[in-house]
Structure 1
Amino acid sequence: MPKFKIGKSEENSEETSEIKVTSQNYIYTGILLAVIGILVNTYIVVQGTPLESHMMEWLNIVIRLMHITFGIAWIGASFYFVFLENALNRTEDVREELAGNLWAVHGGGFYYLEKYKIAPKTIPKHLHWFKYEAYFTWLSGFCLLFVVYYFNASALVIDKNVLDISATQAISIGIGSFVVSWIIYDFMCKSRLIKNQLVFSVIGFLILIGFAWFYCQVFSSRAAYIHFGAMIGSLMVANVFFVIIPAQKAMVHAAKMGLPLDPTLGKNALARSLHNNYFTLPVLFVMVSNHFPSTFGYEYPWLILVIISLGAAGVKHYLNLKEKKQLNVWILPVSILILLAATFISAPSTNPYECKKEVSIVEVQEIIQKRCVQCHSSSPTDEVYKVAPNGVMYDTPEDIVKKKDLIMQRVVITKTMPQNNKTNITDEERNILRCWIEQGASLK
């Protein structure tokens, strides 16, 4: 490796620049934490007052927006740099010290990028680090887990029909599982398994199946899905914090000091970065799945979770190979078939219910009043929901008719409403609602 010296004034200038950048990053982190802290403390102050539900909604909005914004930046960087690594020109007119280069055009301009085998002769004064996108995504996501789920653990995390545990036990199991998953995954990455990609992938996927199944034996199905996503997200950010960034710091330090580089540092960091890249699509699926009860509402929700995770990872593998110009004709269609399988497996039962009589709106409204309006009303009486969730209200017969399709999907087909069957709606009552809707959802 070429050695070089840095003059004292240049060295001091670089140190000052690094301190300045680090200080700015700490300030940004402090601002983020302060915003979240102010919102949380304000919510605590207004608990039990008419402003509680209003503050909870804004707390949810602000943190969710942060999580989405930081997540886009992190996943976008992951997609881009894996593409860059895969698409590098490594053969044509590549200088000896380079691993490859790439020409690109975007936004009305041409770009030329180079990757060094080891390091440039002179380390640039300003070196951009991709790490805070990951840290802020995880931090905002963890806050969101508390705001949406853990603050209302008894209603949203715990399903007594699955496992009757306390809120403290549920939260402890959730957070503890993230730590356990990292210990297992990190051990696998440091073992000889990592040398055989196929064996590593199969064992890793089997372990993910185990976690998906475990979560569904402990939490409500929605909470199980979100914990699975949070677990994978925690693995991803731990890869950045414990492996990728320390390796990059060691490489930069060695390059500045003219010391020999440990090639395994870059190799391990690249492997973890690639793992993160494969994790992205399953995590994105979990983020959107909570809005679609056909996924978590299936009788075996863990099965749908692992099937879609496998199919999504397969699509990502196809894209990665395509960027390398190593096309495999079978990977994409097989991945799509796997994803389609989840659609058919989760399809509702087609066994028709025999409607013996015409159902009136009076009967329907009686069921809705008994089982739904505790939450879905302009004046909810539920201890958790002080404002109607998603603005869905069933105060009048006209309100019920307008939401007949939603009632059919959530109450009758997927049976994901009421939440964890909190109000003990019966199958007979669900079938009465089905008959009314199939008969035309009349106001008579």
Structure 2
Amino acid sequence: MNDYAVLWDWLSFGVRWLHVVTAIAWIGSSFYFIALDLGLVKRPGLPEGVSGEEWQVHGGGFYHIQKYMVAPASMPEHLTWFKWESYSTWLSGFALLAVVYYAGADLYLVDRNVLDVSAPVGILISLASIGLGWILYDLLCKSPLGKNDTALMLVLYGILVAMAWGYTQLFTGRAAFLHLGAFTATIMTANVFLIIIPNQKIVVADLKAGRKPEPKLGLQAKQRSLHNNYLTLPVVFLMLSNHYPLAFATQFNWVIASIIFIIGVLIRHYFNTVHARKGNPHWTWGLAGVLFILIMWLSTVPKVLTGEEKLSAAGEVFVASTHFPAVRDTVLGRCSMCHAAEPGYDGIHIAPKNVKLDTDAGIAEHAREIYLQAGRSHAMPPGNVSGITEDERRLIVTWFEEAR
């Protein structure tokens, strides 16, 4: 039994679960506070320094919330910080990136038909690009351009479009989308870790020392928080995209990713406008729908195929196995009706997750997935629609474990 592959798959599942849980916590608190901030109302008779208040009802009780734009006159006895949701999301996300894309770089990260580099070089490119995002963003925010929110957002969008295209020239389509999400999410978490929380700590220290905090600290933190708010929905899409090859594995995948940022901004604009009691811009949903139809159309444009399918060194080991001919017959007979360049199964128009098992190279490169999902478990074929036998499953297990 190949315990390593099974344990690693469970590790991936566990880290993914942790990432989802922490992301829910971060997104939930972020959306709540943006809605709260936009819904604050300035009323006569508010305490000095209070920029607005709001009454809310939830869980059988009422909440009376007041916001001090800079800081209250004195330090509260109890202060709740919101930071670990963000930190935990990024740390668990990076762990998942390492477990899936770095440990499986030859399969998930590097596509030598796109850029012929080794796995270590691909990992270094990944790390450098993610760090570069924060550096560029932070320099722009601190430049004179940062004083003009509209101009700043347009420049930042241009950078995101460039990165969307650039990642597709470096990695697999799946990894390109994931990295664009990681690039953006790193900016968001760095905003919290390097700007928002440090600024708040300076304010707290000033209060304790009897000094009056600088208003610019709160304004800077608010700007970064608003950026995070508008970037959240595109990041969620990019993180989920690995399940949908029509998004990441088509010719205009980088254009699709670029449009997703616009759709995310439109949706957040609607909710932010409603929460601020400035109307109901329903047009945002109509435009978002049109853009979504556009990306559906873009996903159907045939991909221009270049080069021949190549086997990696690991793939050659699986093809060289004495069991490979029998395994190939099994996979071609039980799996390739869906997992093929032109699927023959009714209702399947593109290979699920872009996994194609109709060639020796495809079978070898996806040996681990075949082993886990059709050998060690009964996940594939779904409902065993193709009637794979237990003997055939055992053969897959033997093939993979002996080759490894």
Task: Give the letter for the 2:262 counterpart.
Answer: L
Alignment counterpart, residue 71 of structure 2, candidates 102, 119, 125:
119
Task: Give the letter for the 1:84 counterpart.
Answer: L
Alignment counterpart, residue 335 of structure 1, candidates 271, 288, 312:
288
Match of 2:2 in 1: 50
Asked whether 1:346 is paired with 2:284, we answer: no
Cα 1:382–1:89, aligned 2, differ >3 Å: closer, same or farther?
Answer: farther
Match of 1:179 in 2: 131
Q: C-alpha root-mean-square deviation of aligned residues, in Å? A: 3.0
Larger radius of gyration: 1
- Give the 3-state SS of the residue equivalent to 1:423 in structure 2: helix
Alignment of 1:38-437 (within 5 A): 50-91=2-43, 93-327=45-279, 328-347=281-300, 381=318, 397=333, 405=345, 408-411=348-351, 416-418=354-356, 423=361
Task: Give the letter for the 2:247 counterpart.
Answer: T
Between 144-153 and 86-95, report the one with greater CA deviation: 86-95
Distance 1:406 1:272 in 2: 48
Deviations 1:233-271 (A, max 9, x none): 111111111100110000111112210211110000010
Cα 1:396–1:173, aligned 2, differ >3 Å: closer, same or farther?
Answer: closer
Distance 1:256 1:155 in 2: 54
Mapped contact 2:53–2:64 kept (Cα < 8 A): yes
- Give the 3-state SS of the residue equivalent to 1:114 in structure 2: strand
The offset of 1:193, in angstroms, is: 1.1
Gaps of 5+ in 1: 1-48, 350-370, 384-392, 426-440
TM-score between the two structures when normalised by the length of structure 2:
0.77
Task: Give the letter for the 2:290 counterpart.
Answer: L
Cα 1:330–1:120, aligned 2, differ >3 Å: closer, same or farther?
Answer: same
Distance 2:7 2:224 in 1: 39
Mapped contact 2:133–2:183 kept (Cα < 8 A): yes
- Give the 3-state SS of the residue equivalent to 1:223 in structure 2: helix
Deviations 1:90-140 (A, max 9, x none): 235533331111111112221111112332333222211111111111011
Cα 1:195–1:382, aligned 2, differ >3 Å: closer, same or farther?
Answer: farther
The offset of 1:340, in angstroms, is: 2.3
Cα 1:180–1:419, aligned 2, differ >3 Å: closer, same or farther?
Answer: farther
TM-score between the two structures when normalised by the length of structure 1:
0.71
- Give the 3-state SS of the residue equivalent to 1:122 in structure 2: coil
Distance 1:415 1:140 in 2: 23
Distance 2:223 2:135 in 1: 17
Deviations 1:209-248 (A, max 9, x none): 0111100001000000000001111111111111001100
Mapped contact 1:314–1:331 kept (Cα < 8 A): yes
Task: Give the letter for the 2:127 counterpart.
Answer: I
Task: Give the letter for the 2:300 counterpart.
Answer: A
The offset of 1:88, in angstroms, is: 0.5
Distance 1:181 1:324 in 2: 31
Distance 2:203 2:140 in 1: 24
Between 191-200 and 212-221, report the one with greater CA deviation: 191-200
Distance 1:406 1:152 in 2: 32
Runs (4+) of structure 1 exceeding 6 A deviation are 398-403, 419-422
Gaps of 5+ in 2: 303-310, 321-328, 364-384, 388-404
Cα 1:231–1:102, aligned 2, differ >3 Å: closer, same or farther?
Answer: same
The offset of 1:345, in angstroms, is: 2.0
Deviations 1:21-66 (A, max 9, x none): xxxxxxxxxxxxxxxxxxxxxxxxxxxx620111111101111111
Deviations 1:138-167 (A, max 9, x none): 011001001011101011111111111111
Cα 1:182–1:424, aligned 2, differ >3 Å: closer, same or farther?
Answer: same
Task: Give the letter for the 1:144 counterpart.
Answer: L
Mapped contact 1:138–1:237 kept (Cα < 8 A): yes
Cα 1:382–1:238, aligned 2, differ >3 Å: closer, same or farther?
Answer: farther
Distance 2:158 2:88 in 1: 29
- Give the 3-state SS of the residue equivalent to 2:52 in structure 1: strand
Distance 1:217 1:242 in 2: 31
How many corresponding residue pairs? 342
Between 415-424 and 277-286, report the one with greater CA deviation: 415-424
Identity score, percent: 38
Mapped contact 2:70–2:218 kept (Cα < 8 A): no
- Give the 3-state SS of the residue equivalent to 2:114 in structure 1: coil
Cα 1:394–1:125, aligned 2, differ >3 Å: closer, same or farther?
Answer: farther
- Give the 3-state SS of the residue equivalent to 1:273 in structure 2: helix
Deviations 1:260-311 (A, max 9, x none): 2111100000100111111110110011111011101211211111111211
- Give the 3-state SS of the residue equivalent to 1:409 in structure 2: coil
The offset of 1:409, in angstroms, is: 3.4
